[in-house]
Structure 1
Amino acid sequence: MELLTELRTHRIVAIVRGDDADAALRTVLTLAEENIPLIEVSLSGKDALGVIRRARAALGPTAPLGAGTVLTAPDARAAHEAGADFVVTPAVCEGITEAKRLELPVLAGVMTPTDIVAAQRLGADAFKIFPAAQAGGPAYLRALRGPFPAMPFVPVGGVDAAAAREYLAHGAIAVGVGSPLIGDAADGGGVDALRSRARAFRDAAHRPKRAA
């Protein structure tokens, strides 16, 4: 699985975290139907490993399916065994090292320049600026791109459709989107609103605003 290619192509990582495993699975499948195929199932959700296993069986072996909130080496191993083909961490942690040992691509959570350099040394493939809104939003991304102009950054945290357009216009390779996209779908809510939001985010991702 070529994570950078998938990020450049799809430009959205959908983050599914729910209290209802069946609803979380339904959310994953709905997102795939709506052509948002790059999906991360957070290990902090209900029976997340079971959701990953069932989603892998339903989507087939080539669908890009990740595990999020991977902190430890056991987390990375469990995600790999469940069928995830990439992992996402919230920080610079041992989950990165173990995932790379298992030959899984890693989207590593970073906040500071020091984090970025540390994650790069561990072999991270792309860098999740988290929490992006609290870090300063698109202005912080622009600042980071000064010393790191070629780094593949993925802002995550508080990204709505308007923010997605702005981040992408200012050089993000993709954006990670949780509740502004998922809403209550992974907790048992309906999927009609999810489909509408998915279309709005897909439009935002492929029609970003021009950078000022």
Structure 2
Amino acid sequence: MDLRAALTARRLIAIVRGGDPDAALRTVLTLAEEGIELIEVSLSGADALTVLARAREELGPGRPLGAGTVLTAADAHAAHRAGAGFAVTPGLGAGVDTALHLGMPVLAGVLTPTDVIAARARGASALKLFPAAEAGGAAYLKALRGPFPDAAFVPVGGVDVAAARAHLAAGATAVGVGSPLVGDAADGGDLGALRDRARAFRAAVEERP
């Protein structure tokens, strides 16, 4: 898949991490039903590889579905076997190189200009600016875009609806959203509330200047 093109078109990636595998699967499927095209299942969730494999089976081969928190080469191999079509990392570990070797595009975690240079040199499709809120929010993203105007930045971490709008206005290609979108759904919480949040985030990212 062309991950950068998908991020540019959809402008939102949902991050599912939960303590209840069945609830996490229901969360993935509900997000897909609500039109969230890009979904990441974090490997730090309970039985995440099974969730990923079951989600792939339910969604079919053509749906963009990624594995998050890919830290090691073993993580990348396991995610690939489970059906992940792309990998998301919090930093520039061995998982980046192995995922790329396996043919999975990578949304690679960065924070500093040095990280950006290294991630692009390794072939990352896009750059996960993490943790976005703690790093200075949209103002920091705008500063990074000065030396890297053509980089595809995806802020992640503390991105609520208002922050999503601010980051996109500052030049983000997309935003990655975990708990402000998923809430407690992946732990067995209310799917109706999840649908409401999904619609609110979709409305926010679909706004164009």
Q: Same fold (TM over 0.5)?
A: yes
Equivalent residue, structure 1, for 2:53: 53
1:121 is the counterpart of 2:126: no
Could you tell me which amino acid in structure 1 is paired with residue 65 of structure 2? L
Equivalent residue, structure 2, for 1:26: 26
Deviates more, 1:4-13 or 1:78-87: 4-13
| Alpha-carbon distance in 2 for matches of 1:178, 1:194 | 12
1:168 is the counterpart of 2:168: yes
| Alpha-carbon distance in 1 for matches of 2:190, 2:63 | 24
Could you tell me which amino acid in structure 1 is paired with residue 35 of structure 2? N
Q: Give the superposition deviation at 1:190.
A: 1.4
Q: Give the unaligned 5+ runs of structure 2.
A: none
Q: Give the unaligned 5+ runs of structure 1.
A: none
RMSD across aligned positions (CA): 0.7
Q: Give the superposition deviation at 1:37.
A: 1.7
Residues 9-45 of structure 1: CA distance to partner in whole angstroms, max 9, x if unpaired?
1111000000000000000000000000200000000
Equivalent residue, structure 2, for 1:197: 197
Q: Give the superposition deviation at 1:171.
A: 0.8
Equivalent residue, structure 2, for 1:93: 93
Could you tell me which amino acid in structure 2 is paired with residue 176 of structure 1? G
Residues 162-200 of structure 1: CA distance to partner in whole angstroms, max 9, x if unpaired?
110111111100000000000000001010000000000
Could you tell me which amino acid in structure 2 is paired with residue 201 of structure 1? F
Secondary structure of 2:66's counterpart equals: strand
Equivalent residue, structure 2, for 1:110: 110
Residues 122-178 of structure 1: CA distance to partner in whole angstroms, max 9, x if unpaired?
111100000000000000000000000000000000000011011111110000000
Q: Give the superposition deviation at 1:5.
A: 1.4
Equivalent residue, structure 2, for 1:150: 150
Q: Percent identity?
A: 67
Secondary structure of 2:13's counterpart equals: strand
| Alpha-carbon distance in 2 for matches of 1:109, 1:197 | 25
| Alpha-carbon distance in 1 for matches of 2:77, 2:146 | 35
Secondary structure of 1:140's counterpart equals: helix
Equivalent residue, structure 2, for 1:4: 4
Secondary structure of 2:7's counterpart equals: helix
1:184 is the counterpart of 2:179: no
Equivalent residue, structure 2, for 1:135: 135
The total of aligned residue pairs comes to: 209
| Alpha-carbon distance in 2 for matches of 1:145, 1:9 | 19
| Alpha-carbon distance in 2 for matches of 1:175, 1:52 | 21
